[in-house]
Amino acid sequence: MRAHPIALSALTTALLMGCGGSSDAALPQLSAATPAPLQSCATLATSLALPGTRITSAEQVPEGPLALQGVTTQAPAHCLVKGKMKERTGPVDGASYAIGFEMRLPVAWNGRFLHQANGGLDGSVVTALGSVSGAAPVAPGLVQGFAVLSSDAGHGAPTPFFGVDPQARLDYGYQAVGTLTPMAKNLIKIAYGKAPDRSYLAGCSNGGRHAMVGASRYADQYDGILAGNPGFHLPKAATTQLWKAQQYAKVSTKDATTGLPDLNTAVSPAEFKLIGSKIVAKCDALDGVADGQVNDVAACQAAFNLQTDVPTCTGARDGSCITSEQKSVLASIFAGPRNSKGEALYTGTWFDPGIAGANFASWHFGSPATRDAGAVAFIFTSPPSTVAAFTAIPGMQYALNFSMETDYPKMFATTAQYAESPWSYMTPPNEADLSALKNRGAKMIVFHGVADGVFSPMDTAHWMDRLQANHSGKADAFARLFLVPGMNHCSGGPATDQFDMLAPLVAWVEQGKAPDSVTAKARGTGANVVNAELPASWSANRTRPLCVYPKVARYNGTGDVESAGSFSCR
């Protein structure tokens, strides 16, 4: 099997960076934020006088437990403010629209503002706790003392039908961030008697996309950007999900009721586990130690061969082999889609043991007929579908009918009514040029799970390569990428997926301490949320350094293999 292009890409970047990385002494150093106490809460409902803004409530919340996505965190005493911006009636569907938001303003404030960018289709004002990195984080932004903002990005339900409204599309893409930011800073100034000293924008998945778009469009507003598993090419990723369904359908059995392919039968959990084990067998020791974890992803793509390293079935599928047809489908999916001209339509992805994770399979099998079909039909196509036309057929049928030749290009289209294309409003403009961010001393951290089932980590690595090339090999002076081996989409998989990148980002922005590595923990027995997919051979408390791309965590040759201290980024 020939070396994957990422191996060459990483080598090129390593040469650009040199052994010790690059620096730029001319970059400005931003000063540190200073704390301030909350001056008012109840009066905030009447104190903010901004056009098109309505504060609906402001109430004091005592110190105590705050639940978010199954995790309970002890939150500090704070003021909870809720409101709406730009309330209107949609001209196309007659529905009510607004940018809904909440802010949580701690009584003991650290002087910083955190814009919590949320995931998926947005549509819900998620609790503004500031949980923006790693799985089941132990130090969310609110706990660290940030004033935190959360919003629904301009529509009130997590369904794709808002895509028929031209303005709601733009708000979802980027304009909600631009609308909310000055409001939030003004509200903070009223609440504390001063505006935030430093402002941060952070999120994972679509929230990571919001963050990357913000790094391009709102570099003058934010001092630190944290983007996790970013869907910064989301329209291409979503259409690729539909294409994946078409590939898996070739090796799926049909549902007895609907007659449509049951994608869950294409590759069973046991078969994905088999493939993951063969990846471990070929690649585990490439980082200097056999510990059940593959850190050297570039070398692994050259070492692992799906065709020869995984047994081919000669009889029934029993989990000990996969068929030649399955191999053909998987090879195509990992290589990524191409059109009839041979042009790549989205970046492929890597072979990593994390493909055995349940989250990886759910994105491949469950997502195309549900969230991706609707998102493509209404948000990433111009003009969008109608509700009547879309609901007339099952989502799986929409996925199977989607044409990468004639439907895919509609993400770049405009009409008189939809004057900005989905590609334009969803992606960061000039994504390889972050001069505005760099020149004002702002910083950016990106992290991505190597076994993400929807957004290609390879795509993110290639973006980092382009950023480096465009900034003369010195992009790491203001932007750094951390790959998380084994991790699925934002969390999960056989990985050390619990980490805090917000505090290192603050230290980089405000103290000039560039992070060369970030320590990540496994979530074994005793963790606030236990990861059931950790291999039995791992310590429940395993730690590993996450390294600045393209460096790899390599074993030092001595020391406890369960400890991050026994590894170095090289």
318 is catalytic: no
Contact 79, 191 (CB under 8 A): yes
Closest CA to 212 of 29, 481, 484: 481
Q: Which of 452, 459, 497, 500 is catalytic?
A: 452
Closest CA to 504 of 441, 446, 458, 453: 446
Identity of the residue numbered 5: P
Joined tokens for residue 338: 């191409």
Q: How far is CA 411 from CA 30, 174, 422, in A?
A: 39, 16, 5
Q: CB within 8 A of 118, min separation 6: which ones?
A: 124, 126, 150, 151, 152, 153, 203, 206, 207, 210
Q: Which of 489, 491, 497, 566 is catalytic?
A: 489
Helix (H, G, I), strand (E, B) or coil at 526: coil
Query: Is residue 481 packed enough to be buried (19+ CB in 10 Å), middle (13-18) or exposed (0-12)?
Result: buried
462 is catalytic: no
Helix (H, G, I), strand (E, B) or coil at 165: coil
Give the relative orientation of helices 206-217 and 176-192 as an angle to the nearest 10 degrees.
80
* H/E segment holding residue 207: helix 206-217
Helix (H, G, I), strand (E, B) or coil at 554: strand
Other CB atoms within 10 Å distance of the CB of residue 526: 8
SS (H, E, C) 431-477: CCCCHHHHHCCCEEEEEEECCCCCCCHHHHHHHHHHHHHHCCCCHHH
4 is catalytic: no
Closest CA to 229 of 107, 134, 337: 134
3-state helix, strand, coil in the chain (%, to 5): 35, 20, 45
Joined tokens for residue 110: 């650290």
Query: Is residue 345 packed enough to be buried (19+ CB in 10 Å), middle (13-18) or exposed (0-12)?
Result: middle
Contact 109, 36 (CB under 8 A): yes
Taking CA 444 as the corner, what is the angle to CA 434 and CA 347, rounded to the nearest 5 degrees? 75
What is the per-residue burial (b if ≥16 Cβ within 10 Å, else e) of 117-155?
A: bbbebbbbbbbbbbbbbbbbbeebbbbbbbbbbbbbbbb
N- to C-terminal Cα distance for the chain? 25
Could you list the active site residues? Answer: 205, 452, 489
